[in-house]
């Protein structure tokens, strides 16, 4: 499994690439890490260095740009999404969709749900 | 990737991959099988009887919300004939419980169940906010956990209810088993694996109908059924999120999803080897009598967010008891060796009063390696001198903690 590169990337090389729009949702307590906002609409370049953008890149983007909380390790651990966080791609478990390698499609709805928080 | 079809109905698109067996299921088949499995746990362990009044320990979180929803569904579908009531505990933490209690209030309407909220202040004379004001943030989880445990029982008693169900899931149980293994606390490990605790020892019986349900599936069930639940992190223990046992379990699950139920099963098997203790694996494998766990010792997690974790404070508070347990345990292990000569190997049904005679013998045979340590019986079930709540010590844990608190009550606390 390719690891998630957490170093911020410059936006300059993305300038001529068409964008795709996706909806990202956080629940189960994760929204607390993302300005307590459940839904985020994102526009991302459709490709990255010539290959279609994957969920791994999305997670990287969320961590570097969307997440204001400094506790990055609550979202990314050892270069991967923290175990215990479920990902649903258009309501389907990402384990059925290739996990981090899934290539994002325009209009996708990506839900991140924490199983780690208590009641 | 072409859509995968459901392994059961072969018509709908699979949306769920089950951690326990990698089965790919559609939404409807997943919901049905999840409910069927909880039904299996309930019937094979004979958790309920017709006409029983059952309180659901409800926090507004995912586990207890799913428990309430599933129990309502199953009660209607299979005609259990049980009377379900939501029981919530208000620890008295401003800005933490308020929202989740609002969720429970909505749940009460959604599931058409009566709701009883019991506050720490009315039970103990202290809110958690006041406790923290007095002792600081360190170690307050111990207080909260001990108080919570009794609060559910006391709340049930107030309602005249003898059975409390909690939302503990397979991940919680696996976590607690690991923690007790790492502490070397086999007696508690044994108790933590039981699906039912405290039934014959106390007035209030506890059970965990979701004991074999993966946390992942609980969250997915809540999501696909669009259940109204609240997630939060206790404001007094933000580090609870990084709980080491929890992280370990989740990392294991990532590599090998069956690991969680495997740990639960290993715990059950180990529990059967603990002298004087019993554990029940899924009831269908053969009924075993419920354990003699006293409620105040069955330490399945201090608080909802810090299940099974030991904070420094908790360790300190439990230190005395652990020491006693260790001694008693060592002695018990030795007894085990002597009894195997005369009696057949202990089976899952060797239980109950095997305890006391063993101790008599232990007292006669002082253990060579530990001359200075007195051997204290670890479980002599009595009642707390102060509150009458059942306890294995002179004072129950709550009263012990309260005694310390009341000594330190700041004079300016008005």
For residue B305, being part of any structural domain is answered with: yes
Least confident segment among A17-21, A34-38, B241-245, B314-318: B314-318
Residue A61: inside a domain: yes
- pLDDT of residue B363 exceeding 50: no
Residue B55 lies in a domain: yes
pLDDT at B189 over 90: no
Q: Is residue A12 part of a domain?
A: no
SS3 per-residue string spanning B285-341: HCCCCCCCCCCCCCCCCCCHHHCCCCCHHHHHHHHHHHHHHHHHHHHHHHHHHHHHH
Q: How many CB atoms lie within 10 A of CB B247?
A: 17
Confidence band of B309 (pLDDT split at 50, 70, 90) = very low
- Is 0.95 exceeded by the ipTM? no
Residue A1: inside a domain: no
CB contact under 8 A, B232 and A27: no
- The residue ranking higher by pLDDT, B348 or A61, is A61
Q: Which of B57-61, B125-129, B335-339 has the lowest mean pLDDT?
A: B335-339
User: What CATH number is associated with residue A61?
Assistant: 3.10.20.30
Residue A54 in any domain: the answer is: yes
Do residue B14 and residue A32 have CB atoms under 8 angstroms apart?
no
In a domain, A26, yes or no: yes
Q: A67-81 as b/e, with b when 16 or more CB fall inside 10 Å? A: beeeeeebbbbeebb
Nearest CA in chain A to B99: A119
Q: Which domain holds residue A94?
A: 18-114
User: Residue A112: which H helix or E strand, with range?
Assistant: strand A109-114
Q: Structural domain of residue B56, as residue ranges?
A: 30-315
Long-range contacts: B362-366, Cβ < 8 Å, 24+? B362/B328, B362/B331, B362/B332, B362/B334, B362/B335, B365/B334, B365/B338
Residue whose tokens read 């906002």: A37
pLDDT tens-digit map of B66-97: 999 999 999 999 999 999 999 999 988 887 78
Domain count, chain B: 1
Min Cα–Cα distance to chain B from A59, Å: 17
Question: Does residue B348 sit within a domain?
Answer: no
Q: Look at residue A4 and tell me if it is in a domain.
A: no
Alpha-carbon distance B307 to B235, whole Å? Answer: 15
> How far apart are the C-alpha atoms of B215 and B171, rounded to whole Å?
6
pLDDT in tens, B152-166: 988 898 899 999 999
A3 within some domain:
no
- Give me the residue label for tokens 């009458």: B388
The CATH number that applies at residue B225 is: 3.40.50.620
pLDDT computed for residue B314 by the predictor:
43
For B376-408, how does the pLDDT look when each residue is reduced to its tens digit (9 = 90+)?
Answer: 445 556 778 888 777 778 888 888 888 888 887
Q: Quote the number of domains for chain A.
A: 1
Whether B139 is in a domain gets the answer: yes
How distant is the Cα of B396 from the closest Cα of chain A, in angstroms? Answer: 26
A15-19, B9-13, B254-258: range with highest mean pLDDT: B9-13
Q: State whether B59 and A88 contact (CB < 8 Å).
A: no
Search chain B and give the residue with CA nearest A36.
B232
């Amino acid at each position: 499994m390719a690891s998630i590169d957490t170093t911020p990337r410059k936006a300059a090389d993305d300038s001529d690439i068409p964008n795709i729009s996706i909806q990202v949702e956080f629940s189960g307590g994760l929204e607390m890490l993302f300005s307590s906002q459940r839904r985020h609409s994102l526009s991302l370049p459709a490709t990255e260095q010539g290959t279609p953008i994957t969920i791994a890149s999305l997670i990287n983007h969320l961590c570097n740009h969307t997440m204001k909380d400094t506790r990055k390790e609550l979202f990314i651990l050892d270069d991967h999404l923290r175990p215990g966080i479920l990902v649903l791609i258009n309501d389907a478990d990402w384990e059925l969709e290739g996990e981090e390698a899934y290539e994002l499609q325009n209009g996708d709805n990506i839900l991140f749900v924490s199983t780690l928080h208590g009641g | 990737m072409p859509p995968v079809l459901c392994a059961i109905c072969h018509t709908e698109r699979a949306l769920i991959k089950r951690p326990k067996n990698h089965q790919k299921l559609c939404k409807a088949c997943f919901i049905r099988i999840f409910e069927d499995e909880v039904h299996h746990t309930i019937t094979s362990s004979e958790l309920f009887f017709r006409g029983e009044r059952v309180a659901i320990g409800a926090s507004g979180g995912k586990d207890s919300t799913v428990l309430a929803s599933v129990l309502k569904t199953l009660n209607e579908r299979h005609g259990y004939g049980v009377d379900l009531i939501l029981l919530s505990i208000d620890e008295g933490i401003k800005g933490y419980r308020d929202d989740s209690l609002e969720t429970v209030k909505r749940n009460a309407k959604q599931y058409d169940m009566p709701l009883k909220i019991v506050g720490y202040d009315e039970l103990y004379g202290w809110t958690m906010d006041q406790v923290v004001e007095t002792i600081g943030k360190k170690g307050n989880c111990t207080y909260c956990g001990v108080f919570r445990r009794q609060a559910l029982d006391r709340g049930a008693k107030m309602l005249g209810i003898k059975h409390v169900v909690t939302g503990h899931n397979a991940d919680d149980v696996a976590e607690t088993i690991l923690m007790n293994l790492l502490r070397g606390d086999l007696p508690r490990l044994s108790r933590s694996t039981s699906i039912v605790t405290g039934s014959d020892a106390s007035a209030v019986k506890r059970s965990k109908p979701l004991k074999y349900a993966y946390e992942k599936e609980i969250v997915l069930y809540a999501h696909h059924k669009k259940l109204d639940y609240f997630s939060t992190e206790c404001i007094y223990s933000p580090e609870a999120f990084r709980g080491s046992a929890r992280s370990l379990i989740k990392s294991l699950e990532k590599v090998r999803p069956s690991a969680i139920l495997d740990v639960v099963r290993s715990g059950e098997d180990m529990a059967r080897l603990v002298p004087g203790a019993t554990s029940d694996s899924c009831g269908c494998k053969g009924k075993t009598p419920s354990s003699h766990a006293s409620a105040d010792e069955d330490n399945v997690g201090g608080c909802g967010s810090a299940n099974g974790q030991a904070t420094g404070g908790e360790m300190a508070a439990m230190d005395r008891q652990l020491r006693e347990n260790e001694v008693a345990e060592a002695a018990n292990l030795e007894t085990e060796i002597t009894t195997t000569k005369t009696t057949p190997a202990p089976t899952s049904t060797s239980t109950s009063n095997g305890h006391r005679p063993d101790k008599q013998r232990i007292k006669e045979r002082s253990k060579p390696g530990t001359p200075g340590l007195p051997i204290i019986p670890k479980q002599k079930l009595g009642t707390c001198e102060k509150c009458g709540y059942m306890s294995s010590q002179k004072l129950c844990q709550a009263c012990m903690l309260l005694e310390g608190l009341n000594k330190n009550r700041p004079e300016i606390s008005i």
